[in-house]
Amino acid sequence: MSHLFTAEELHAIAREAAALKVPRKERFETLIDMIDARWPGRIEKRQRWVLNSANGALGTMTILYASLSEYLIIFGSPIGTEGHSGRYFATVHDFMVEGEMWVYVEGDIERTVFLPGDHATLKARSSKGYCIREDGWMLEYAHGCIPAMLPAGVWDNLFSNLDFRSLFWTFWDYGRITVRELLRGKI
């Protein structure tokens, strides 16, 4: 299955954005502009920040791209969060843009620390524990079976904190962008 994005190109763009000495809002706008320059007209340039409570972690995200086989978001937290990654039929790439993320995988008794410009990969069918430190932000890219990831991404909003507004906007944005890509012939 072909993918629109490559982890290598996204990592290079995220590293460049991480090196900018500008306020966060400007950093994210520049990051989005750089992605749009590389893949013109394919990403959502308007940012709708939605709370995302998934697998015990609460952060905020904006969806830049979505299809049945890929997504691209900016995710993070100004106050920090931690949780379980989930175990998916997709590979997830986290490109740190600000702050730091601590990670451990099954069998680890020591953490791995990812800083701005670093690239963390969660391979399909793997899982990890993670902690995004205060003011931690990443560009997150996943490729694989994205619809199978949705239950983990919305379960807490649906059954725990009853945040139906965040749930609505998550499905609205994911669905709208995915339909647009399906109409383009992208799976």
Question: pLDDT averaged over the chain?
Answer: 93
7-183: CATH topology:
Jelly Rolls (2.60.120)
Q: What percentage of the chain carries pLDDT values higher than 70? A: 98
**How much is the average pLDDT of 147-151?**
85
**Structure-model confidence comparison of residues 149 and 175, the more confident one:** 175
**How much is the average pLDDT of 17-34?**
97
Q: Where are the domains of the chain?
A: 7-183
The span from the CA of 81 to the CA of 102, in Å, is 11
pLDDT tens column, 95-148: 999 999 999 998 899 999 999 999 999 999 999 999 999 999 999 999 999 999
| Contact in structure between 103 and 112 (CB atoms under 8 Å) | yes
pLDDT band at 187 (very low <50, low <70, confident <90, very high): low
Which two three-digit tokens encode residue 153? Answer: 């991404």
pLDDT band at 1 (very low <50, low <70, confident <90, very high): low
Which two three-digit tokens encode residue 94? Answer: 């986290």
Per DSSP, the residues of 104-124 read EETT-SS-EEE-TT-EEEE-T
The span from the CA of 70 to the CA of 90, in Å, is 9
**How much is the average pLDDT of 36-46?**
95
pTM: 0.94
Across the chain, which distance is largest between two alpha carbons, in Å?
Answer: 47
pLDDT band at 162 (very low <50, low <70, confident <90, very high): confident
pLDDT band at 12 (very low <50, low <70, confident <90, very high): very high
Q: Is 58 helix (H, G, I), strand (E, B) or coil?
A: strand
- Name 75's bridge partners: 61, 138
Instruction: Determine the pLDDT at residue 101.
Output: 97
Angle between helical axes of 7-18 and 24-38 (0-180°, round to 10): 150
The span from the CA of 101 to the CA of 119, in Å, is 10
